């Protein structure tokens, strides 16, 4: 969701990464400071504290970005598989209806059933395709016209 106060690149995923990084840095820095205080070394007097924080922060950020990138690739692939399965199911049913309509002797009834089947195929392509996503399994139930 775009905001007029945030730049276009500040997506929810990036915001989440920033919050995870903030919490991780806070916890690690506090733990390192406590460890240094316990051995009577002032945290501000050592550069190792800063180096450890930077290395841990980089590792956590890289791991998080890799995990989210992999998850997005998986969800896109799952969405395409669900779309193909659902379209296959519904369009196969429409083609079977057209095939059975072709067997009719009454020309007017045959054309009516074929037109009805083509409208159903059009309805499937217009209504079904925009609703498929990778989070839900395909809907194989009969589609209802509105």
Query: What ranges do the domains of the chain cover?
Result: 12-131
Condensed to tens digits (0 to 9), the pLDDT of residues 4-51 reads 776 766 677 777 888 888 888 888 888 888 888 888 877 666 667 777
Residue 137, exposed/middle/buried by CB under 10 A (0-12, 13-18, 19+)? Answer: exposed
Q: Distance between CA atoms of 56 and 135, rounded to whole angstroms?
A: 32
Convert the pLDDT of each residue in 41-85 to its tens digit.
Answer: 776 666 677 777 777 887 788 888 888 888 888 988 998 888 888
């Amino acid at each position: 969701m775009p905001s007029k106060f945030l730049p276009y690149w500040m997506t929810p995923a990036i915001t989440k990464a920033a919050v995870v990084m903030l919490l991780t840095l806070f916890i690690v820095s506090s733990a390192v400071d406590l460890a240094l205080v316990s051995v009577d070394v002032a945290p501000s007097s050592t550069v190792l504290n800063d180096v450890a924080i930077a290395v841990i922060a980089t590792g956590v950020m890289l791991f998080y970005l890799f995990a989210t990138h992999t998850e997005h690739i998986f969800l896109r692939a799952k969405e395409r598989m669900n779309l193909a399965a659902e379209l296959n199911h519904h369009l196969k049913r429409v083609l079977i209806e057209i095939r059975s309509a072709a067997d009719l002797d009454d020309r007017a009834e045959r054309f009516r059933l074929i037109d009805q089947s083509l409208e159903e195929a059009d309805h499937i392509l217009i209504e079904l395709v925009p609703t498929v996503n990778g989070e839900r399994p395909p809907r194989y139930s009969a589609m209802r016209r509105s």
